[in-house]
């Protein structure tokens, strides 16, 4: 289901953003070194990018099928 896919991707973006915020705080409090911080941020950024790209593709597919937010046009 396309709507479920969008919801799942949105949740992943939120999860990744929360993780990045936590890592920022940990770096500021000197609880994590810069190199592992950058590795984590790089990986989370990639995940977030692909989640957003998947959401865009899914929304495009919905529009092409004449559906948006579960409403048929």
pLDDT of residue 66: 79
pLDDT of 73 higher than 50: no
pLDDT of residue 69: 56
Burial 5-27 (b: 16+ CB within 10 A, else e): bbeebeebeeebeebbeebeeeb
Q: Tell me how far apart the alpha carbons of residues 58 and 44 are, in angstroms, rounded to a whole number.
A: 21
Segment 26-69, tens digit of pLDDT: 999 999 999 999 999 999 999 889 888 888 888 888 788 876 55
User: Comparing 18 with 13, which gets the higher pLDDT?
Assistant: 18
């Amino acid at each position: 289901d396309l709507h479920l896919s969008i919801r799942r991707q949105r949740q992943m973006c939120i999860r990744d953003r929360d993780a990045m915020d936590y890592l920022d705080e940990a770096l500021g409090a000197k609880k994590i070194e810069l190199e592992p911080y950058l590795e984590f941020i790089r990986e989370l950024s990639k995940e977030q990018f692909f989640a957003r790209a998947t959401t865009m593709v899914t929304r495009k597919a919905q529009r092409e099928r004449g559906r948006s937010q579960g409403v048929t046009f």
